[in-house]
Amino acid sequence: MESWGYKSMTRWTEAARERRKIYDTAITHIPETEALNFVELFSSLTGDGSLVKAGERRLYDGKLYRANVDLWDTAQNTPAAAPSLWVEIKNPGSEYPDWIQPAGGHDAYKIGDKVTHKGSQWISNAASNVWEPGVHGWDKVT
């Protein structure tokens, strides 16, 4: 049996890196409409200072998010600390998902978007809608 010498470890390490590249590439092709079915495949934000590329999806506080821009995985760049850097991926199976306060134009609601807020269902009647339902820009359904 071969010992775990330098050459052996180098081969294993290189093989693992190649498999990781294949894995990382594969999960980037999971459509956003299906991503919530495979959350265990996505890495969590850890604050390790690694680079997160725009469009990458990461888990944070039990929810899946997509990065809006390239950023560093730090405590200052979490969805809680810097919500404009992230968009939460919502359940596409829910006709009226829970309303989430938009952080800006990048995740504002469009005309016709449906939400549930404070026990009622709402439909947006405004483009680039960042208002809370019941305040402005929404029609109450129930």
For residue 139, the enclosing domain spans: 94-142
User: How confident is the model at residue 100, as a pLDDT?
Assistant: 87
Task: Determine, yes or no, domain membership for 101.
Answer: yes
Domain membership flag for residue 86: no
| 52, 72 Cβ separation under 8 angstroms | yes
pLDDT, tens digit, 9 for 90 and up, residues 70-101: 999 999 999 999 988 998 888 767 788 889 88
- Evaluate whether residue 17 is within a structural domain: no
Structurally, the chain folds into a number of domains equal to: 1
CATH of the domain at 121: 2.10.10.20
Token representation of residue 70: 């390239």
Condensed to tens digits (0 to 9), the pLDDT of residues 27-70 reads 888 888 788 888 888 999 999 999 999 999 999 999 999 999 99
Categorize the per-residue pLDDT at 1 as very low, low, confident or very high, splitting at 50, 70 and 90: very low
> Residue 122 falls within a domain, yes or no?
yes
140 falls within a domain: yes
DSSP codes of every residue in 49-116: --EE-TT-EEEETTEEEEESS-EE-SGGGSTTT-GGGEEEPP-TT-SSPBP----SGGGPBPTT-EEE
> Is 124 within a domain?
yes
Whether residue 12 is contained in a domain is answered as: no
Does 11 score more than 90 pLDDT? no
Is 118 domain-assigned? yes
With contact defined as beta carbons under 8 Å apart, do 7 and 22 qualify? no
